[in-house]
Amino acid sequence: MKSAEIITIGDEILIGQVINTNAAWIGEQLSCIGVAVIQHTTIPDERRDIAKALKTATNNADLIIITGGLGPTKDDITKTALCEFFQKKLVLNDEVAKHVEKLFSRHGTQLLAVNKKQAEVPEGCRILTNNHGTAPGMLFEENNKVYISLPGVPYEMKGIMEEEALPLITEKFNLGAIVHRTILIQGIGESFLAEKIKDWADGLEKKSIGLAYLPSPGLVRLRLTAKGLDRPNLEKKVGIAIDALKPLLPKHIFGEGKTTMAEVLGKLLREKGLSLSVAESCTGGNIAQKLTSIPGSSDYFKGGVVSYSNEIKVGLLRVDAALIEKRGAVSEAVAIEMAKGARDHLKSDLAISTTGVAGPTGGTEEKPVGTVWIGLATTKGIWAKKFQLGENRERNIEVTALTALNLLRLELVNNNL
């Protein structure tokens, strides 16, 4: 199995100002194509340290991926270090120069001398096009080792990896087949999930299928992995395992791979020709933001009201002020009225509402932090459901938003809306 070391350049990471999410992401991608990640190394923005790390990694791994230190400002010395290591000169690359110029002219901004320097690369390297920024990726080969240098800005790095580097690595290392499928699960914690699917999970081992639990707030991703030479056979084997899993979690599995809950729901709404609006109190815009993060969502998402104050609940959603007074803003009755108000006044077919105590303050004995009501107004009725979440504000907001979207998804799938 080919091995990889990931070198991250950046003082800001060493001193903990920035958390190294790049190395984690690259580690995940490499594992997925069957490369063994054997080391992450983070070093300072210093030529000497970069040179030393390159030398050590060369003795360690087959593939060396370097991120960071490729921006237009002068704390970037990676290219000089690469030139020294490979004993090459910096030369102007016409292809990159044109790309940088095009990016700047498109934004109508002026090209500066520092930007022009970005088109200089070590002689003989292969350029990996950066479709999301000016600093190019670079690939070097020497003594059967592959070196890839990438900018540190996450979305630029990810773009180059996905569009250019990963296919090249797979090709150059002649990697065997590896099949991954990731099942997305909402509304059940990792421990309960493990208990519920224990027999199924035990059975995977005999079939040489690897299983990993990847939890995040409100979600668990289950990744199945099979390795071998015969891809169609691996795909079939993993497919059978997934088919056997689905009936065990009818309410929780909402999708697969890189999709999101908002994307899955959006697709359903589009298919059924139904429109949606939201009335958000405790989620404060998080649901709207999730829905509108999907390109083309304006086709089915009408919009929403973030009714953080009771005044807005009354004024825009026409919730009865006396009802809020009597039952409290965090109550079944208010969640129902909010959903109804959104559906009626934002003129949509369906509506979601949320009202709760996200924390850390605002909790009472009767309604402690983490108390949340989610309301749904559909073509078949209006109802609300209570959830008792934890104490972490950020997590409560995220879990509420995902749970609300999943509740609506289940209505669409199961209730024939």
Shortest distance (Å) from residue 298 CB to a copy of itself: 5
Shortest distance (Å) from residue 188 CB to a copy of itself: 11
- Cα–Cα distance measured from residue 326 to residue 311, given in angstroms and rounded to the nearest whole number: 15
* Phi, psi of 188, rounded to the nearest 5 degrees: -145, 130
Shortest distance (Å) from residue 414 CB to a copy of itself: 25
Of 300, 305, 299, residue with least CA distance to 340:
305
- Please calculate the CA angle 130-46-157 and round it to the nearest 5 degrees: 20
Shortest distance (Å) from residue 306 CB to a copy of itself: 4
What count of other Cβ atoms lies within 10 Å of the Cβ of residue 354?
Answer: 30
Shortest distance (Å) from residue 401 CB to a copy of itself: 9
* Phi, psi of 264, rounded to the nearest 5 degrees: -60, -45
DSSP bridge partners of 276:
301, 350
Shortest distance (Å) from residue 190 CB to a copy of itself: 6
Shortest distance (Å) from residue 328 CB to a copy of itself: 14
Decide whether 120 or 126 has the Cβ nearer to a copy of itself.
120
Decide whether 22 or 406 has the Cβ nearer to a copy of itself.
22
Decide whether 101 or 126 has the Cβ nearer to a copy of itself.
101
Is the bond leading into 360 cis (omega within 30 degrees of zero)? yes
Residue type for position 77? I
Of 322, 310, 313, residue with least CA distance to 341:
313
Decide whether 287 or 335 has the Cβ nearer to a copy of itself.
287
Please count the residues of the chain: 417
The torsion angle over the Cα atoms of residues 120, 123, 126 and 131, rounded to 10 degrees, is 0
Decide whether 388 or 415 has the Cβ nearer to a copy of itself.
388
In the three-class reduction of DSSP (H, G, I as helix; E, B as strand; rest coil), residue 74 is classed as coil
Decide whether 273 or 381 has the Cβ nearer to a copy of itself.
273
DSSP bridge partners of 8:
42, 67
Decide whether 19 or 124 has the Cβ nearer to a copy of itself.
19
HEC profile of 133-154: CCCCEEEEEECCEEEEEECCCH
Shortest distance (Å) from residue 6 CB to a copy of itself: 8
Task: Name the one residue in this structure whose structure tokens are 């060369």.
Answer: 58
Decide whether 189 or 250 has the Cβ nearer to a copy of itself.
189
Decide whether 215 or 410 has the Cβ nearer to a copy of itself.
215
3-state helix, strand, coil in the chain (%, to 5): 45, 25, 30
- Cα–Cα distance measured from residue 86 to residue 65, given in angstroms and rounded to the nearest whole number: 15
Shortest distance (Å) from residue 305 CB to a copy of itself: 6
CB 280 within 8 A of CB 305: yes
Decide whether 56 or 272 has the Cβ nearer to a copy of itself.
56
Shortest distance (Å) from residue 86 CB to a copy of itself: 22
* Phi, psi of 349, rounded to the nearest 5 degrees: -75, -35
- Cα–Cα distance measured from residue 92 to residue 159, given in angstroms and rounded to the nearest whole number: 23
Of 204, 224, 203, residue with least CA distance to 213:
224
Shortest distance (Å) from residue 168 CB to a copy of itself: 20
Of 114, 115, 12, 123, residue with least CA distance to 68:
12
Decide whether 92 or 112 has the Cβ nearer to a copy of itself.
112
* Phi, psi of 195, rounded to the nearest 5 degrees: -65, -45
